[in-house]
């Protein structure tokens, strides 16, 4: 091959389309064709029994075609939605119905579904539905859930959906015997993914072919396909799900199915006209998913050097009204909390609690930001107690480079052992200290203090389990033109998969990058796939694409060797031409593709060109028993366990002495995701993650009132960072400890930027203010109040 | 209950679209669903995210806050109208679009049309922005993916490309 693309900053191919406004997001599908539009009646109450629904006035609205309530649903559609990831500890899992049956458990729960000529008319009709409710007292927030004076579900005692405990060693005994102990209470509030594109689904039923085509804004096309088939009573083979472009996901689009993902195809089949649902922003706030809300209690015992001898963590996770996504988030917190450290003994127990609020699915980082917050606040507290430098305490607890693979003695979210594959945490810390100027900070602080300015520095370390299984697959097809069509089943929501995967294929197959075209998220092209979440796409599909391209290359070489009357070992390929090394004897990959398919029709010039070569033995069948026609490669990658990326962030903040405004002066990231396929894309992921992290640390929260109304369900009131809120520059340094678990040595990078944010900001604010920070996010007014609360102590 | 409709002529990217719409139809919906120009995206429908920004007589407006009927007699430019049509196989990216590609200024691409139109107008008003002015120029648009740094870079790069006569 000529130049290796792996590891280089190849500009993204998808940009050509997206920059011209030619992307295809769900709501762009079937524009210009006859499509009906859906709107949903959503519960205005957090907890209520539905006594009666009157839809009699709905069909009078001109342009309305149909309305569904629970009573209209039959068969599997009338059963609860699937509990996707059951777990033995989830003793009281509950999922919603596609349309509420008898009871609603959060504001925004779907009650009725209207289909009309356009969205405006559908919403008019929704406004005419009359529902009689019997109000029930809602349970809002973790305190209310734990108090359990009221229940979300009558048959779930104590509002506890699950209780899970894991222990490695005897943590309580180790703490009791330790020279120093501390206890901490730490809280993180609810936030949400908020991709700029909300959810959207379009479906078309073709009665002649008996096929359902669904376009949906999802992180898992295959998952939606399975659900649609099961719920609508169709064979899997009758359902195609296509997801060309997704306007951001960050976790919320992994849930499947959403009620609308079933109701839209159902309506399309019954009405015989394509149907579209496009969520609006308020709906996204109150009817999709949130994350992050957790309370934690930590007991820790340590020695004079800051070495953690025993760590005992108890926490409470608010999973909202339903648990379709199981216990993934709290399991991740409970395990990933350990980060790069190896405590002498560790015990963790959590309860996952029901509340009358929107359900939880993973949000970028998925439980890790909370875990990192807990562990890093603990490290800072230990350092403060011992009067030691915060980096020293961390270094005393690091897993050392020669200790990999390192088994943490716990079970991870995928049911496999929590065993880290590779890493070099001491090297990472050295890089971070240099990058942020850790050792020079006290001089800087003094300089600033002389000007009456208050600054603080913080750091936070994390390890991120990435590339979870079970598998991904890829299909590579070389056309007779020499073009290479690649399909992988997982979706893309902005991570540049079309570019990154094409880089891998171009390298492996020895073809120009421009000849490779990658399709993602189309079940017609690759029906076996899991999805794009948990920083798994590069590891999983990247590896699968690599293996599939290798298979295609092997076949190409086998045929070319025969055509060129040479040995496979003497062949090489570059720029799409296979040649016998050191000779003029050569054949185009496209011509090999023609030869791979023993047809006797010359469709095109490539076929004619192929006639000069002869392959195959006339005494044998044209397609050998162990062969198949066509130049294709297909393979799957299934890892033993997750890869473990890692990183460390540091931030310098300035806090305003009067307004308590928090300004970011410097932000530094050291990042290790193994080998980088495209550093430009990885850095982009870090930038985006840091911005989301800044939002989570300083601004974003779900402001529920006690009746369960979300008071800030708009972009006007839920504060996400604009350019004015993010650091002007992020200093990034990479470390590459390749993963031994996959052929490319890669680990995922998607969530890295966001994991340590709450921890790193809490540390820096605490350092600037000298007040313990135990709850995030923190707004200027909260910081102001904290200052007031600590005044008497200081003056006393 | 029949809704009153209006015949409106929308001038978009140099072409005329005759559409029949109710008075309440948003320009964003008319552009997307009646004119078929789906490049304009809707992220919030309440004027905060800027994804739906189009140029009306050269000025950036949020098409989710404009009624389609009131866009009559104006010249609307959407993202589809930014690239230069060379009559060849494909259009040539405008300096702003090219800069986004050069600087990795987009990830999912959903907010991108709003940034491109906003910056196109911004650079006409201020062809040589400082970094602070570049940040100001995009301070009204939300992006959930990129963290903005590369978008700021793209603004500066676009100014450079424009100066170079690209
Ligand atoms: S969609 Fe118009 S500003 Fe958000
Ligand atoms: S690129 Fe996804 S929202 Fe900006």
Write the Ramachandran bin of A575: left for phi over 0, alpha for psi from -120 to 50, otherwise beta.
left
Whether residue A494 contacts residue A246, with contact meaning beta carbons closer than 8 Å, is answered with yes
Number of neighbouring beta carbons within 10 Å of residue A638: 12
How far apart are alpha carbons A749 and A686 in whole angstroms? 8
Instruction: Determine whether the shortest distance from the Cβ of B50 to ligand 1 is under 6 A.
Output: yes
Q: Which two tokens stand for residue A713?
A: 């369900």
User: What ipTM goes with this model?
Assistant: 0.96
Per CATH, A17-136+194-287 and A290-468+640-789 having the same topology is answered no
Inter-chain touch B149–A12, beta carbons under 8 Å: no
DSSP letters, A122-162, are: HHHHHTT-EEEEEE-----HHHHHHH-SS-SSTTSGGGEEE
Segment 36-55 of chain B within 8 Å of chain A by CB:
36-46, 48-49, 51
Distance in Å, alpha carbon of A607 to nearest chain B alpha carbon: 26
Q: Which two tokens stand for residue B14?
A: 């140099």
Per-residue pLDDT reduced to its tens digit, A626-640: 889 999 999 888 888
Q: Are strands A731-734 and A662-672 parallel, antiparallel or unpaired?
A: parallel
How far apart are alpha carbons A216 and A238 in whole angstroms? 16
Is it true that the peptide bond before A770 is cis, omega within 30 degrees of 0?
A: no
CA of A221 relative to ligand 1 center, distance in Å? 27
B143/A contact by beta carbon, under 8 A: yes
Q: What is the pLDDT of residue A467?
A: 77
Instruction: Determine whether the shortest distance from the Cβ of B66 to ligand 1 is under 6 A.
Output: no
Is it true that the peptide bond before A470 is cis, omega within 30 degrees of 0?
A: yes
Count of all residues that appear for chain B in the document: 166
Q: Which of A14, A495, A687 sits opposite B149 (nearest CB)?
A: A687
Q: What is the pLDDT of residue A107?
A: 97
How far apart are alpha carbons A469 and A417 in whole angstroms? 13
The minimum-distance atom of ligand 1 relative to the CA of B142 is 4
CATH fold for the domain made of A469-637: Aldehyde Oxidoreductase; domain 4 (3.30.365)
Domain A17-136+194-287 has CATH 3.40.50.150: no
Q: Which residue ranges form the domains of chain B, and what is each CATH number?
A: 5-81 (3.10.20.30), 84-165 (1.10.150.120)
A57/B contact by beta carbon, under 8 A: no
Whether residue A637 contacts residue A544, with contact meaning beta carbons closer than 8 Å, is answered with yes
- Token match 């010359």: residue? A602
B32/A contact by beta carbon, under 8 A: yes
Q: Which of A20, A62, A120 sits opposite B91 (nearest CB)?
A: A20
Whether residue B117 contacts residue B77, with contact meaning beta carbons closer than 8 Å, is answered with yes
How far apart are alpha carbons A102 and A682 in whole angstroms? 48
Pocket test for ligand 2, best of B113, B141, B146 (most atoms within 8 A of CB): B146
CA distance readout (Å), A624 to A310, A596, A619: 64, 11, 11
Per-residue pLDDT reduced to its tens digit, A690-700: 999 999 999 99
- Token match 């193994």: residue? A674
Number of neighbouring beta carbons within 10 Å of residue A404: 17
Inter-chain touch B110–A194, beta carbons under 8 Å: no
Q: What is the pLDDT of residue A615?
A: 78
Q: Which two tokens stand for residue A57?
A: 């006035």
Count of all residues that appear for chain A in the document: 796
Spans of chain A, pLDDT less than 70: 1-3, 792-796
Inter-chain touch A23–B116, beta carbons under 8 Å: no
Identify the nearest ligand to the CA of A716 by its number.
Answer: 1
How far apart are alpha carbons A444 and A795 in whole angstroms? 27
Inter-chain touch B139–A723, beta carbons under 8 Å: yes
- Token match 């301070």: residue? B139
B65/A contact by beta carbon, under 8 A: no
Burial group, residue A584, by CB count within 10 angstroms (0-12, 13-18, 19+): exposed
How far apart are alpha carbons A733 and A211 in whole angstroms? 50
Q: What is the DSSP letter of B31?
A: I
Q: What CATH number should be reported for the domain whose range is A290-468+640-789? A: 3.30.365.10
Q: What is the pLDDT of residue A796?
A: 43
What are phi and psi for residue A481, nearest 5 degrees?
Answer: -75, -10
SS3 A264: helix
- Reported confidence tier of residue B1, pLDDT bands at 50, 70, 90: low
SS3 A84: coil
Instruction: Determine whether the shortest distance from the Cβ of B62 to ligand 1 is under 6 A.
Output: yes
How far apart are alpha carbons A262 and A41 in whole angstroms? 16
* Mean pLDDT computed over B80-96: 86
* C-alpha torsion A772→A337→A704→A774, nearest 10: 0
CA nearest neighbour of A16 among B151, B41, B102: B102
Inter-chain touch A245–B36, beta carbons under 8 Å: no
Q: What is the pLDDT of residue B129?
A: 97
What residues of B are in contact with residue A726 (Cβ under 8 Å)? 147-149
How far apart are alpha carbons A479 and A482 in whole angstroms? 5
Instruction: Determine whether the shortest distance from the Cβ of B54 to ligand 1 is under 6 A.
Output: no
Inter-chain touch B1–A729, beta carbons under 8 Å: no
What residues of A are in contact with residue B26 (Cβ under 8 Å)? none
How far apart are alpha carbons A460 and A415 in whole angstroms? 27
Inter-chain touch A120–B24, beta carbons under 8 Å: yes
How far apart are alpha carbons A245 and A494 in whole angstroms? 8
Identify the nearest ligand to the CA of A197 by its number.
Answer: 2
Number of neighbouring beta carbons within 10 Å of residue A253: 32
Q: What is the pLDDT of residue A2?
A: 52
Per-residue pLDDT reduced to its tens digit, B100-117: 999 999 999 999 999 999
Q: Are strands A643-655 and A454-466 parallel, antiparallel or unpaired?
A: antiparallel
Residues 6+ apart with CB under 8 A from A618: none
Q: Which two tokens stand for residue A623?
A: 């397609």
Whether residue B68 contacts residue B21, with contact meaning beta carbons closer than 8 Å, is answered with yes
CA of B105 relative to ligand 1 center, distance in Å? 19
Instruction: Determine whether the shortest distance from the Cβ of B52 to ligand 1 is under 6 A.
Output: yes
Residues 6+ apart with CB under 8 A from B124: B58
What residues of B are in contact with residue A280 (Cβ under 8 Å)? 45
Q: What is the pLDDT of residue A1?
A: 41
Provide the number of CB pairs (under 8 Å) joining chain A to chain B.
Answer: 184
Inter-chain touch A714–B46, beta carbons under 8 Å: yes
B141/A contact by beta carbon, under 8 A: yes
The domain locations on chain A are 17-136+194-287, 290-468+640-789, 469-637
């Amino acid at each position: 091959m000529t130049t290796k693309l792996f590891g280089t900053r190849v500009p993204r191919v998808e940009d050509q389309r997206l920059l011209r406004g030619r992307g295809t997001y769900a709501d762009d599908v079937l524009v210009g064709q006859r499509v009906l539009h859906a709107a949903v009646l959503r519960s205005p109450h957090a907890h209520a029994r539905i006594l009666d629904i009157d839809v009699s006035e709905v069909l009078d609205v001109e342009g309305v075609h149909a309305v569904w309530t629970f009573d209209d649903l039959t068969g599997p559609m009338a059963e609860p939605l699937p509990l996707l990831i059951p777990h033995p500890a989830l003793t009281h899992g509950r999922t919603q119905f596609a349309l509420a049956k008898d009871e609603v458990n959060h504001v925004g729960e779907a009650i009725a579904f209207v289909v009309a000529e356009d969205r405006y008319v559908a919403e008019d009709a929704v406004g005419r539905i009359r529902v009689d409710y019997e109000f029930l007292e809602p349970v809002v927030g973790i305190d209310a859930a734990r108090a359990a004076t009221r229940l979300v579900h009558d048959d779930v005692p104590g509002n506890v959906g699950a209780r899970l405990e894991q222990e490695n060693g005897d943590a309580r005994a180790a703490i009791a015997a330790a020279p120093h102990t501390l206890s901490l209470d730490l809280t993180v509030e609810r936030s949400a993914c908020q991709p700029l594109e909300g959810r959207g689904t379009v479906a078309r039923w073709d009665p002649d072919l008996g096929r359902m085509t669904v376009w949906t804004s999802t992180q898992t096309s295959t998952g939606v396909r399975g659900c649609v088939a099961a719920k609508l009573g169709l064979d899997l083979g009758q359902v195609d799900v296509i997801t060309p472009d997704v306007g951001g996901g960050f976790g919320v689009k992994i849930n499947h199915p959403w009620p609308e993902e079933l109701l839209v195809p159902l309506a399309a089949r019954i009405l015989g006209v394509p149907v579209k649902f496009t969520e609006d922003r308020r709906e996204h706030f109150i009817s999709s998913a949130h994350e992050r809300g957790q309370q934690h209690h930590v007991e820790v015992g340590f020695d004079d050097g800051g070495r953690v001898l025993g760590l005992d963590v108890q926490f409470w996770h608010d999973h909202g009204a339903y648990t379709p996504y199981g216990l993934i988030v709290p399991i991740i917190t409970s395990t990933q909390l350990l980060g790069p450290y190896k405590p002498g003994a560790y015990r963790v127990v959590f309860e996952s609690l029901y509340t009358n609020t929107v359900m939880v699915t993973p949000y970028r980082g998925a439980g890790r930001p909370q875990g990192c917050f807990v562990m890093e606040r603990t490290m800072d507290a230990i350092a403060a107690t011992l009067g030691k430098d915060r980096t020293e305490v961390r270094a005393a607890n690091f897993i050392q480079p020669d200790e990999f693979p390192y088994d943490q003695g716990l079970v991870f979210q995928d049911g496999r052992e929590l065993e880290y594959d590779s890493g070099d945490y001491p090297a990472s810390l050295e890089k971070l200290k240099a990058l942020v100027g850790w050792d020079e900070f006290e001089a800087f602080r003094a300089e600033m203090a002389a000007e009456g300015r208050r600054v603080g520095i913080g750091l936070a370390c994390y390890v991120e389990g990435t590339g979870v299984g079970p598998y991904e697959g890829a299909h590579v097809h070389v056309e007779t033109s020499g073009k290479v069509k690649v399909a992988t089943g997982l979706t893309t929501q902005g991570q540049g998969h079309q570019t990154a995967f094409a880089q891998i294929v171009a390298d492996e197959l020895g073809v120009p990058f421009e000849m490779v075209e990658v399709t993602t998220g189309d079940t017609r092209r690759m029906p076996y796939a899991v999805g794009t979440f948990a920083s798994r796409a590069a590891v999983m599909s990247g590896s699968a694409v690599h293996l599939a391209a290798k298979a295609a290359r092997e076949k190409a070489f086998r045929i070319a060797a025969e055509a060129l009357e040479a040995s496979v070992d003497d062949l090489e390929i570059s720029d799409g031409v296979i040649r016998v090394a050191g000779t003029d004897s050569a054949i185009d990959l496209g011509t090999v593709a023609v030869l791979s398919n023993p047809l006797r029709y010359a469709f095109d010039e490539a076929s004619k060109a192929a006639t000069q070569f002869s392959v195959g033995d006339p005494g044998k069948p044209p397609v050998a028993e162990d062969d198949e026609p066509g130049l294709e490669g297909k393979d799957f990658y299934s890892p033993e366990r997750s890869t473990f990326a890692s990183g460390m962030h540091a931030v310098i903040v300035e806090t305003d002495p009067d307004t308590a405004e928090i300004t970011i002066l410097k932000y530094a990231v050291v990042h290790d995701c193994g080998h980088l396929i495209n550093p430009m894309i990885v850095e982009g992921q870090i930038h985006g993650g840091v911005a989301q992290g800044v939002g989570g640390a300083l601004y974003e929260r779900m402001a529920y009132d006690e009746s369960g109304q979300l008071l800030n369900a708009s972009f006007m009131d839920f504060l996400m960072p604009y350019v004015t809120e993010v650091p002007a520059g992020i200093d990034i340094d990479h470390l590459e400890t390749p993963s031994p678990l996959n052929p490319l040595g890669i680990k995922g990078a998607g969530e890295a930027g966001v994991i340590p944010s709450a921890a790193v900001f809490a540390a820096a604010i605490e350092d600037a203010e000298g007040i313990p920070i135990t709850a995030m996010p923190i707004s200027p007014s909260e910081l102001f109040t904290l200052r007031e609360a600590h005044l008497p102590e200081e003056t006393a | 209950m029949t809704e009153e409709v209006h015949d409106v002529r929308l001038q978009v990217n140099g072409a005329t679209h005759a559409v029949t719409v109710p008075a309440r139809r948003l320009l964003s919906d008319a552009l997307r669903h009646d004119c078929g120009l789906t490049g304009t995206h809707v992220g919030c429908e309440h004027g905060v995210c800027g994804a739906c920004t189009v140029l009306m007589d050269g000025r950036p407006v949020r098409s989710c806050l404009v009624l389609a009927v009131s866009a009559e007699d104006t010249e609307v430019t959407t993202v589809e109208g930014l690239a230069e049509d060379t009559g060849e196989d494909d259009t040539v990216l405008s300096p702003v679009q090219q800069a986004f590609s050069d600087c990795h200024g987009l990830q999912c691409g959903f907010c991108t049309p709003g940034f491109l139109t906003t910056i196109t107008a911004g650079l006409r008003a201020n062809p040589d922005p400082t970094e602070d002015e570049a940040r100001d120029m995009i301070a009204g648009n939300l992006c959930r993916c990129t963290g903005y740094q590369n978008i700021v870079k793209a603004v500066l790069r676009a100014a450079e490309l424009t100066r170079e006569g690209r």
